[in-house]
Each structure stands twice: as C-alpha cells, then as structure tokens.
C-alpha cells in the first residue's frame, strides 16, 4: 500500500475517532442539561437550560448524521456496526503488537 493510501486511511480513522468523541461528548452534554433542568427551581434558568439542551440535541443529531453518512456509525444495522467495531479492535490490537 502506498503512502497516499495510508494517509487517506489514517485520515478517515482520525475523522472517525474525532467524530465518535464528539458524539459521546454530545450525549453527555444532553444528559447534564437534563439533570440541570430538573434540579433548578428558577423558571428563568430552566428556560435557558432547556434552550441549551435543545441545541445540544441538535448538535448530537448532526454529528450522528455525519457519522452515518460516512459509514462511521451504523445506527440502523447492528450486525454491520458490530463488524465495524471488531475491525477497529483488530486494528488496535495490530498496533499494540508492533
């Protein structure tokens, strides 16, 4: 495999790693806002938190859609997702051995 092929593959792997990290973070942010909304007594603060939570939900959807469109996340095909995850684990194991 040539250098350009390696760079293209590495670039996609980096993109997927970054996107996955962003997706996990977006999920955490939505959860944090949901907890904050249920804990606040102030209607004004609650309104701000709900607005921010809704934006976080939209951000999550945008990231997930990007990953689905770029074959990084197979949300609707668990078998394909498991195969994809196994390939990533196998690649990681190869890197550890070298």
Q: Among the listed ranges 10-19, 46-55, 62-71, 78-87, which one has the minimum average pLDDT value? A: 10-19
Q: How many CB atoms lie within 10 A of CB 51?
A: 11
Q: Is residue 1 over pLDDT 60?
A: no
pLDDT at 3: 53
Q: Is residue 89 over pLDDT 90?
A: no
Distance CA 2, CA 52 (A): 46
Distance CA 33, CA 49 (A): 6
pTM over 0.85: no
Q: Which residue matches tokens 């709900």?
A: 50
**pLDDT tens for each residue of 45-73:** 999 999 999 999 999 999 999 999 998 99
The b/e string for 66-85 (b: 16+ C-beta within 10 A; e otherwise) is ebeeeebbbeeeeeeeeebe
Q: Is the dihedral of CA 56, 58, 83, 3 positive or negative?
A: negative
Nearest-CA neighbor of 70 among 27, 18, 26? 18
pLDDT at 93: 84
Q: Is residue 14 over pLDDT 70?
A: yes
């Amino acid at each position: 495999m040539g250098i350009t092929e390696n760079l293209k593959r590495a670039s996609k792997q980096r993109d997927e790693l970054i996107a996955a990290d962003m997706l996990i973070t977006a999920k955490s942010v939505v959860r944090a806002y949901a907890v904050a909304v249920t804990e606040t007594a102030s209607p004004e603060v609650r309104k701000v938190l709900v607005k921010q939570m809704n934006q976080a939900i939209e951000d999550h959807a945008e990231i997930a859609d990007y990953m689905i469109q770029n074959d990084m996340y197979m949300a609707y095909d668990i078998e394909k997702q498991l195969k994809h995850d196994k390939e990533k684990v196998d690649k990681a194991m190869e890197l550890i051995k070298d």
